[in-house]
Amino acid sequence: MSPVSLRRWGWIHKWSSLVCTVFMLLLCLTGLPLIYSHEIAHLLGNEVEPPALSTPMPPGNVDAVIASAKELYPSKKPMFISQEADVPEIWNVTLADHMHDHDYKPIAVDARTTKVITEPAFEGGAFMSTMLALHVDLFMGLPGMLFLGFMGLLLLVAIVSGVVLYAPFMRKLDFGTVRRERSSRLKWLDMHNMLGIVTMVWLLVVGATGVINTWGDLLLKYYQNNELAQILHKYEGQAPLPHTASVHDAIETAKKALPGMRVAFVAFPGTDFSSEHHYGIFMNGSEAFSSRLYRPVLVDAHTGELTDAPELPWYLTALLVSQPLHFGDYGGQPLKLLWALLDIATIVILATGLYLWLKRGKAAKAAAKAEAAKTMTAGDVPALARGQEAS
């Protein structure tokens, strides 16, 4: 590679890295506790455990579950109900005045006895909800998500340009060499390069999936205005009828439509995951990875009849696949530990990159001052000589 090309790639790597470094550090620092969100919620006492029963009981009626939750807040409406695959004894009911109400009321209800267990902390408590908001949108909603997505794209550019620059560097040294006997700056440069190339594939995966996740709201809106709108064409222009169909029966209808799958969550009419006329019942598989891939079933909320069980389009499937890959929460504790270690390594990469840039700036300023002093000294010699001659 020619020196001109190297300088061009160096400029790309330098500025793409510098622009996104602070935000990537923030995402790494907030992402670390999110990897262990369940464990932290448990330590903070925010994880809900199903009550122990003296005798085993089958699941109760879901309508009774919803009624128990509504007794606490009669004026609010159910927005969602959900179940964790590993805790089928609990239904999580979310109540609110409307879809975009910020005063959500999450309520955990025993799926067997249909009695309220507790009102858990929203999003796992204040600490975890703050970490999640900072990681997802910087408390700025869609603009914040898109901004972080742009920072993610810059990270991908920085990774690719870093690999291009590392290729000629590798011809001079053995892989993984850290020249500890040389200057401090050179040692940290070697550490930065070594960690960067070791974590390259992981960074590409996490960076790319993070960018895809920031487009989630836009992809969902596109789906609603296109594929979903075509499915619901016959309801166009019709006022919603009273939602009199049993949620319990709607779930049973969904199970019959997709045998072998389980209910992950139910979106009520008027929410972003359904229509004004339907219960959106989202089913998934039972395996670690397939449990993150949803299949929607639309059941008429007035008649209780099945409307459709469409396959999700490829772009929503890509979004759903990107989420477990981004957080590494589909492979148990070993994968979580690997994700955490790679996250810490990335923090070191970003910190050393910032250190090297600051150090290089100081070195350049010192060199400029030395050169200026040298030039000034050389320029003073003739004047001094002329002064001696005059005397």
Task: Give one DSSP letter per residue of 266-281, joined into a string.
Answer: EEPTTSTTS-TTEEEE
Crossing angle of helices 126-136/3-35, nearest 10°? 160
pLDDT tens sequence for the chain (391 residues)? 677 788 888 899 889 989 999 999 999 999 999 998 888 887 877 788 889 988 889 999 999 999 999 999 999 999 999 998 888 999 999 999 887 777 789 999 999 999 999 988 766 678 888 999 999 999 999 999 999 999 999 999 999 998 888 777 666 666 656 666 666 777 777 777 777 778 888 999 999 999 999 999 999 999 988 998 898 888 888 888 888 999 999 999 999 999 989 999 999 999 888 999 999 999 998 776 667 788 999 999 999 999 999 988 999 989 988 888 888 877 778 889 999 999 999 998 888 888 888 877 555 555 555 555 555 455 554 443 444 444 3
Given this model, what pLDDT does residue 366 score? 54
Nearest partner of 206 among 36, 334, 24, 33, judged by Cα? 24
> According to the model, what pLDDT value does residue 363 have?
55
Q: Give the span between the Cα atoms of 229 and 215, in whole angstroms.
A: 20
The whole-angstrom separation of Cα 115 and Cα 118 is: 9
Q: Which of 48, 191, 178, 62 is nearest to 124 (CA)?
A: 48
- Conformational region of residue 141, where left means phi above 0, alpha means psi within -120 to 50, and beta covers everything else: left
CB 67 within 8 A of CB 76: no
pLDDT at res. 174: 64
C-alpha closest to that of 298 among 277, 319, 272, 320 = 277
Q: Enumerate residues 6+ apart whose C-beta is below 8 A from 90.
A: 48, 50, 83, 84, 108, 109, 110, 111, 117
Write down all domains in the chain, each with its CATH number in brackets.
47-120 (3.10.450)
- How far apart, in Å, are the Cα atoms of 12 and each of 3, 165, 179, 190, 330? 14, 10, 26, 20, 35
- The two structure tokens encoding residue 374: 């040298």
Reduced to 3 states (helix: H, G, I; strand: E, B; else coil), residue 361 is helix
